Structure formats: C-alpha cells, structure tokens
Amino acid sequence: MNPGAHVWRAMMAGALASLASLGCASSGTAAGTEGGGGAGGCPNDLPESCPSPEPSFAADVAPVLQERCAPCHSPGGLAAERPLTSYASVHALRSPVLNQVYGCNMPPSTAEPLAAGERDVLLAWLVCGAKDN
C-alpha cells in the first residue's frame, strides 16, 4: 500500500468518527437536521468499500459538482470561500465534502436534495480515495 493510502484511510476514519458523533453514521440522521435525503431523513448509505467500477472524477463527479455545488461554491457564490470548481479545490476539501454530503447538510435545505445517483457518485468517489481520474 502506498503512503498516500495510509493518509487517506486515517482521514476517512476521522471523517467517519466525526459523522458518528453527529449521529448520522449509525442512525442515518444528522443531529439537529431533517436531512436532505428525502422524507425519511438522511440515508445511511456510505459505501463500505470502493465500488467497481470506480467513479471517475472527470466523467462522473465533476458534472455533479458543476451543476449542484458550483453555483454557491465558486467566485461570487454564497460559499465562494470554499470553492468546488476544480479537482484541486475539491480534493483539498474532500473530508468536509464527505461530512456535509453524507450528513445531508449539503445541499442546504433551501435547495433541492441531491438525487440518489448524484449522492451515490459523490460518496463512492470519496470512499475510493477521491482520485483525479
């Protein structure tokens, strides 16, 4: 295993511990939120391992980020200080992105929730190591 994989696994463990402290890793619902995952609350759908085939940043993830995240997470947007407009910027924020998407905090309750396929792609890509592929 390469050294970067160890760092990624440690970061994922920390992110999952953070999610568990919110109550969404075990119950599927983030504390204090109704969850953006639909009427049943926030789904407990973090993949246990990287699926095959592995999601591609360019083909699968970037289009979701461009459509659903960039309107706020880009220059001039409400969350411009946390840009999600390039691989480098998303990779730098991968742990918070995982926490926010999995905890159903993003998109915010004022926006349409991610479709199941959009959510699946983002979470799977993050679990797979957030590669630039």
Q: What is the mean pLDDT of the chain?
A: 81
Residue 7: what pLDDT? 46
What's the DSSP call for residue 28?
S
Give the whole-number percent of the chain exceeding pLDDT 70.
70
pLDDT tens for 51-86 read 999 999 999 999 999 999 999 999 999 999 999 999
Give yes or no for residue 42 having a pLDDT over 60: yes
Residue 14: what pLDDT? 55
Residue 41: what pLDDT? 86
30-39 long-range contacts (CB < 8 A, ≥24 apart) are: 30/103, 30/104, 30/105, 33/103, 33/104, 33/105, 33/109, 34/109, 35/103, 35/104, 36/104, 36/105, 36/106, 36/107, 36/108, 36/109, 36/113, 36/114, 37/104, 37/113, 37/119, 38/113
